[in-house]
Amino acid sequence: MRRRIAHVITSLDVGGANMMLYKLLGRMNHEQFEAAVIVLMESGKLGPRIEALGISVYALGAAQGRISLDTLRELRALIRRLDPELIQAWTYHSNVAVSLLAPFLPKIPVFWNIRHTPYDLKDYKRLTYLLIRYGKWLTWQPACIIYNSETSAKRHRQLGYRGKRTVIIPNGFDIEAFAPSEQARLNMRKLLGLSESALLIGMIARYHPMKDHDNFLKAAAELQFQKPDLHFVLAGTDVDPKNLELNQLIEAHRLGACVHLLGERSDIAWITAGLDIATLSSAWGDAFPNVIGEAMACGVPCVVTDIGDASCIVGNTGIVVPPRHPTALVKAWNKLLEMDATARTRLGEAARQRVIENYSLAKIARRYERLYLEETQRNGS
């Protein structure tokens, strides 16, 4: 008998939680689980990709994820029609929305999925701040709260989040799609009009204050002054020539032609495999960044800021530096650049092996499946 799981999420634009849901749905056993996805906002770019997996997507069209009474009524009606055996909510907005409806949806267990590490609540927009701040009063309701990082779980406990049951399930990575590729390295340099020997340091991240592109660019400017032949690759949503603020930062740091803005891409695995060093310079918020594990799976050594579980992910296969500290970032980059190519390759191989052993998407999908099956059986379905 297939278990019916309804996933409720705020948005299906490209982002960490949304991509993890998409990847999870693609790897779960469809003979054992029947999934449906309800998105509070519009379908977004991932909606058609999820539908291509044979999974129905229902978009409620809420503006900016705001939880109005009309949205709640529509969500309740849709859940009743789908009649799931378990509801998996993703992100703060959806967690709260589903829990507000729980009294009107008897006997359906609800799971929360929390994927942020809120170091300072002032960093968040007012609505998200309120959802995080007062969400603790609803934590009695879900049957289980899933965190994707130990750091996130610890921080939420400090904020008063308790819950009946807490489980840590890290992000999973497709080790077939994200893999080392010498051809990707050559093609990347051809795309950028660079020599085959050019060294590339890159960051894949949407343009958002939490990702701290300014920190990355400050470090890039300092390192480029020391090593003029270096190039820096940035990709992600709004990381493109149309972003005036980002371009002003690049101009202010006098980086000119050594920074390449690739925008939002569908070939992230290829771009990542073409880098010599991958970086995430986040200042706050990240819990278990996908881009770190993806780079490691590609055999690319990483330099990351000490946010969320970043240090746990890279272990001894990369370098961890304090956030908002461009000089530390430069020192870490230099340490990797001073290695010969063989040593960097060995470090990358160790990084990939770490992902295979601990964070492969197949293993993570099995953990979700076991959790869902256990709950639905306990609930008498």
| Residue with the larger pLDDT of the pair 66 and 322 | 322
Q: Where in the chain is the domain with CATH 3.40.50.2000?
A: 3-172+360-378, 182-358
CA atoms of 327 and 222, how far apart (whole Å): 8
Nearest to 290 by CA among 267, 313, 273: 313
Model pLDDT for residues 163-182, shown as the tens digit of each residue: 889 999 999 999 999 999 99
CA atoms of 87 and 7, how far apart (whole Å): 6
CA atoms of 70 and 175, how far apart (whole Å): 42
Tell me the pTM: 0.86
User: Residue 107 pLDDT > 90, yes or no?
Assistant: no
Q: Please report which residue ranges of 181-243 form alpha helices under DSSP H.
A: 182-192, 213-226
CA atoms of 156 and 162, how far apart (whole Å): 8
Nearest to 93 by CA among 12, 155, 203, 23: 12
CATH for 182-358 is: 3.40.50.2000
Instruction: Give the C-alpha distances (Å, rounded to integers) separating 13 from 17, 100, 117, 134.
Output: 10, 24, 20, 26
The backbone torsions φ and ψ at residue 350, rounded to the nearest 5 degrees and listed phi first, read -65, -35
Q: Which helix (H) or strand (E) holds 198?
A: none
255: helix, coil or strand?
coil
Q: In what order do the strands lie in the sheet with 277-280?
A: 259-261, 231-235, 200-204, 277-280, 302-305, 319-321
Which segment of 82-86, 271-275, 281-285 scores lowest on mean pLDDT? Answer: 281-285
- Number of C-beta neighbours around residue 133 at 10 A: 14
User: Residue 214 pLDDT > 90, yes or no?
Assistant: yes
246: CB partners within 8 A, 6+ apart? 207, 213, 238, 239, 261
| CATH architecture for residues 3-172+360-378 | 3-Layer(aba) Sandwich (3.40)
Q: Which helix (H) or strand (E) holds 39?
A: strand 33-39
Mean pLDDT value of segment 284-288:
87
pLDDT at 87: 97
CA atoms of 10 and 211, how far apart (whole Å): 20
Q: Please report which residue ranges of 47-125 form alpha helices under DSSP H.
A: 47-51, 69-82, 91-101
CA atoms of 95 and 9, how far apart (whole Å): 8
DSSP 8-state secondary structure symbol assigned to residue 335: H
Whether 372 and 84 have beta carbons less than 8 Å apart is answered as no
pLDDT at 65: 57
Tokens 């293993």 belong to which residue?
Answer: 363
Whether 144 and 164 have beta carbons less than 8 Å apart is answered as yes
Q: Which helix (H) or strand (E) holds 266?
A: none
Residue 17 pLDDT level (bands cut at 50, 70, 90)? confident
**Arithmetic mean of pLDDT over the chain:** 93
Strand 86-90 and strand 110-114: pairing?
parallel
Model pLDDT for residues 301-341, shown as the tens digit of each residue: 999 999 989 999 999 999 999 999 999 999 999 999 999 98
Tokens 């019916």 belong to which residue?
Answer: 4
CA atoms of 108 and 82, how far apart (whole Å): 12
Residue 20 falls in which region: left (phi positive, over 0), alpha (psi -120 to 50) or beta: alpha
Whether 235 and 268 have beta carbons less than 8 Å apart is answered as yes
Beta bridge partners of 311: none
CA atoms of 27 and 50, how far apart (whole Å): 12
User: Residue 140 pLDDT > 60, yes or no?
Assistant: yes
- Number of C-beta neighbours around residue 205 at 10 A: 25
